[in-house]
């Protein structure tokens, strides 16, 4: 082989060695971009589905609320009840009272002269009737979605079902199409119905036509399809730009991009973002540990304890994620989620047992947020519970600044909530705190209960509480001897593994129903 031929071969190998990685990186970038494009369409359709489920859930809640009305139909009181329901639920436009599908009155008119509704287009799996109709009593020429029962129908603006902002960097359009008559009753742009009919014929979920990618998502229970679409032009422009301008620097750009993405991923996988994602996804669970009257053995309530399940089935220690929430400014969001979960899990049980309560732990940051009391008030009204059924537990660190904590505690107590000092004796405790703060109950930390037999600190804490006329709850009771000692010294309430560990909702309710006998732990 001549030198000239060798140079040629080396040159070709060099060109190939340079071009192949660059071309491969561009191909992978295009492929990944296309997959991301499709994923964004799928994700957008799914988010529209979530919005639709939320709107329908509000409609069903409004219907349930109206069925709870016991007065005479179409009176002033009835009209006000319908108006309250229409005003209270964000996505509800109008509430109608009907007899044999004939509107008699509504949240807009005390006497309705509208024509009867046609038969429902569909009956949902949970028994609600559904319409897509231009029927209204205002003379408006537009489609509305309607969900109803025998005597009530709520009207929903279909635009609220698709009021979802795309997360992607390119515009996405969406339309809702009725399956029975192929009526487009809500859309952000005009949908090509020939494309939609072709997708129906071949049963495709993703479909490309004339430079546009379509995604179809059926909501069969409600009888309509979500169609999301976007032009492929942004994807093509992005790929051409890389091919024309970045080909000589492909390897360098790939390395820099990989480095940048790894930094972003590392940041997104940081503990703060994991916690924020878990809160937004409502991954946290609440377990309930029974609180028992030590003298009678009768269940009086429970403490709500947050749990964060991990992918391997374990639970992350609350000491870790509570501290992480405090360090990253997510305490209020976490507390809000836990409070909502408590009412979702135990609201009905508390309504059936008005003499029992659930105590919820608050962090010091919750005292100054100003959001806890309004949230509790709204949820108590929603579930028709008495404020005394929700107690609030604050660690001694929450009392470190009396100028801040005292007014907040006073506001909680004025609203009817009992306030507990949690883990007393382990932090900043002093007699002055108990004298200056208007609290109801002192919780004796487990460490003092464990030390009953060889330390006398616990008895001093008990006498201190008695002198201030505070109720007491002993934590971490595990033996009959501890129970007997606490009874002798006048501690009224207790919790711990002697009675039960913290239990999930269903297990706690089962435990409560089988342990209401006051003699069960006497």
Domain C-terminal end among 221, 247, 273: 247
Return d(Cα 285, Cα 502) in angstroms, integer: 12
At 270, the pLDDT band (50, 70, 90 cuts) reads: confident
According to the model, what pLDDT value does residue 6 have? 34
Same domain for 339 and 200: no
pLDDT at 402 > cutoff 90: no
In a domain, residue 224? The reply is: yes
Residue 213: which residues within 8 A CB-CB, separation 6 or more?
A: 37, 38, 41, 206, 207, 229, 230, 232
User: Does residue 157 share a domain with residue 32?
Assistant: yes
Q: What are the distances in angstroms from CA 507 to CA 141, 286, 287, 345, 503?
A: 53, 12, 9, 12, 6
Say which residue, 198 or 238, is predicted with more confidence: 198
515 backbone dihedrals φ, ψ, rounded to 5°: -125, 25
Instruction: Report, as an integer, the average pLDDT of 279-285.
Output: 92
The pLDDT, as a whole number, for residue 456 is 73
- Cα separation of the two ends of the chain: 101
**pLDDT grade for 79, boundaries at 50, 70 and 90:** very high
Kindly indicate the confidence band of residue 14, based on its pLDDT and cuts at 50, 70 and 90. very low
8 Å CB contact between 342 and 358: yes
Choice between 163 and 234, residue whose per-residue pLDDT is larger: 163
Q: Is the same domain home to 462 and 325?
A: yes
- Structural domain includes residue 270: no
Task: Assess whether 379 and 499 both reside in one domain.
Answer: yes
For residue 257, being part of any structural domain is answered with: no
Q: Are residue 145 and residue 230 in the same domain, yes or no?
A: yes
User: Residue 127 in 3-state DSSP?
Assistant: coil
Task: Give residue 109's pLDDT.
Answer: 85
Query: What is the reported pLDDT for 496?
Result: 94
Q: Is the pLDDT of residue 238 over 50?
A: yes
What mean pLDDT is predicted for residues 136-159?
A: 82
Check pLDDT > 90 for residue 133: no
What tokens appear for 416 in the block? 């009817």
What CATH code is carried by the domain that includes residue 325?
3.20.20.450
With 0-12 / 13-18 / 19 or more C-beta atoms within 10 angstroms meaning exposed / middle / buried, residue 189 is exposed
pLDDT at 268: 52
Residue 277 covered by a domain? no
H or E element in which residue 353 lies: none
pLDDT of residue 33: 65
81, 216: one domain: yes
Is residue 351 domain-shared with residue 432, that is, in the same domain?
yes
Higher pLDDT, 357 or 3: 357
The predicted pLDDT at position 13 comes to 38
The mean-pLDDT minimum among 8-17, 348-357, 480-489 falls in 8-17
User: Rounded mean pLDDT of 462-488?
Assistant: 91
Mean pLDDT of the chain: 81
Confidence of residue 484 (pLDDT cuts 50, 70, 90): very high
Core vs surface per residue 368-379: b (16+ CB within 10 A) or e: ebeebbebbeeb
Q: Say whether both 338 and 190 belong to one domain.
A: no
**Short-list 366, 369, 367, 364, CA closest to 428:** 364
Domain with 470 in it: 284-514
Q: Is residue 268 part of a domain?
A: no
Tokens linked to 102:
């004939």
79 and 226 inside one domain: yes
Q: For the full predicted model, state whether its pTM sits above 0.75.
A: no
User: In this predicted model, what pLDDT tens digit does every residue of 423-471 receive, in sequence order?
Assistant: 776 655 555 666 667 889 999 988 888 887 666 788 888 888 888 889 9
Confidence of residue 110 (pLDDT cuts 50, 70, 90): confident
Write down the pLDDT at residue 7: 32
Which run of H or of E encompasses 477?
A: none
pLDDT at residue 67 greater than cutoff 60: yes
> How large is the average pLDDT for residues 245-263?
53
Final residue belonging to a domain, choices 187, 218, 247? 247
The pLDDT value recorded for residue 427 is 54
Burial 478-495 (b: 16+ CB within 10 A, else e): eeeebbebbeebebbbbb
Q: Which residue has the higher pLDDT, 254 or 55?
A: 55
Give the C-alpha separation, 155 to 442, whole Å: 51
pLDDT over 90 (residue 388): yes
Residue 487 and residue 382 share a domain? yes
Tens of pLDDT, residue by residue over 298-323, are 999 999 999 999 888 888 888 888 88
Domain end among 230, 247, 264: 247
pLDDT of the residue at 236 = 67
User: What is the model's pLDDT at position 522?
Assistant: 39
Give the mean model confidence (pLDDT) for residues 182-200. 85
pLDDT exceeds 50 at position 11: no
* pLDDT at residue 239 in the model: 59
Task: List strand residue ranges (DSSP E) for 172-298, in order.
Answer: 173-178, 184-187, 206-209, 212-219, 224-231, 285-293
Mean pLDDT across the stretch 124-141?
77
* 392 located within any domain: yes
How confident is the model at residue 4, as a pLDDT? 37
pLDDT at 26 over 80: no
Tell me if 311 is assigned to some domain.
Answer: yes
Q: Which pLDDT score, from 0 to 100, does residue 432 have? A: 60
Q: How many domains does the chain fold into?
A: 2
Q: Which of 499, 487, 480, 516 is nearest to 288 (CA)?
A: 499
Q: Any idea which of 50-54, 367-371, 430-434 has the lowest mean pLDDT?
A: 430-434
The three-state secondary structure class of 112 is coil
For residues 35 and 176, membership in a common domain is answered with: yes
pLDDT cut 90: percent of the chain above it: 34
**Residue 273 placed within a domain:** no
Higher pLDDT, 236 or 394: 394
User: 86 and 211: one domain?
Assistant: yes
Q: Best-predicted range by mean pLDDT among 27-36, 96-105, 339-348, 393-402?
A: 339-348
């Amino acid at each position: 082989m001549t030198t000239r031929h060798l140079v040629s071969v080396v040159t070709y190998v060099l060109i190939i060695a340079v071009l192949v990685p660059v071309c491969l990186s561009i191909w992978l970038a295009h492929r990944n971009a296309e997959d991301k494009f499709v994923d964004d369409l799928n994700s957008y359709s799914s988010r529209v589905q979530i919005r639709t489920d939320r709107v329908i859930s509000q409609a069903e809640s409004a219907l349930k609320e109206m069925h709870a009305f016991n007065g005479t139909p179409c009176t002033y009181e009835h009209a006000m009840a319908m108006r309250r329901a229409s005003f209270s639920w964000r996505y509800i436009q109008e509430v109608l009272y009907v007899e044999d599908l004939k509107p008699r009155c509504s949240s807009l008119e005390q006497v309705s002269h509208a024509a009867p509704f046609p038969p429902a287009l569909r009956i949902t799996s949970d028994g609600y009737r559904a319409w897509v109709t231009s029927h209204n009593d205002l003379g408006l020429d537009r489609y509305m979605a309607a969900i109803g029962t025998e005597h009530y129908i709520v009207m929903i603006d279909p635009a609220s079902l698709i009021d979802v902002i795309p997360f992607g960097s390119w515009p996405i359009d969406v339309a809702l199409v009725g399956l029975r008559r192929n009526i487009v009753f809500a859309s952000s742009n005009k949908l090509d119905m020939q494309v939609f009919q072709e997708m129906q014929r071949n049963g495709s979920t993703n479909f490309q036509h004339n430079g546009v990618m379509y995604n179809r998502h059926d909501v069969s229970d409600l009888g309509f399809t979500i169609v999301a679409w976007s032009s492929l032009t942004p994807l093509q422009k992005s790929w051409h730009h890389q091919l024309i301008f970045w080909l000589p620097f492909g390897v360098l750009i790939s390395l820099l991009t990989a480095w940048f993405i790894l930094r972003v991923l590392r940041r997104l996988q940081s503990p703060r973002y994991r916690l924020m994602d878990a809160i937004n996804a409502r991954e946290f669970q609440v377990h309930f540990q029974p609180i028992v009257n030590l003298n009678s053995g009768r269940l009086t309530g429970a403490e709500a304890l947050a749990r964060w399940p991990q992918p391997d089935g374990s639970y992350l220690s609350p000491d870790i994620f509570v501290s992480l929430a405090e360090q990253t400014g997510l305490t209020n969001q976490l507390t809000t989620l836990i409070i909502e979960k408590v009412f979702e899990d135990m609201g009905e049980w508390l309504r059936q047992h008005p003499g029992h309560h659930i105590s919820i732990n608050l962090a010091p940051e919750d005292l100054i947020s100003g959001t806890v009391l309004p949230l509790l008030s709204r949820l108590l009204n929603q579930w028709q519970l008495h404020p005394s059924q929700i107690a609030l537990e604050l660690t001694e660190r929450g009392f470190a600044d009396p100028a801040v904590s005292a007014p907040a505690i006073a506001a909680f107590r004025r609203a009817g909530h009992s306030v507990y000092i949690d883990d007393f004796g382990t932090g900043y405790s002093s007699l002055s705190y108990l004298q200056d703060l208007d609290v109801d109950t002192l919780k004796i930390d487990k460490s003092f209960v464990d030390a009953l037999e060889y330390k006398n600190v616990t008895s001093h804490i008990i006498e201190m509480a008695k002198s201030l006329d505070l109720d007491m709850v002993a934590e971490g009771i595990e033996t009959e001897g501890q129970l007997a000692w606490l009874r002798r010294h006048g501690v009224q309430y207790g919790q711990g593994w002697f009675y039960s560990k913290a239990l999930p909702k269903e297990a706690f309710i089962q435990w409560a129903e089988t342990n209401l006998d006051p003699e069960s732990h006497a």
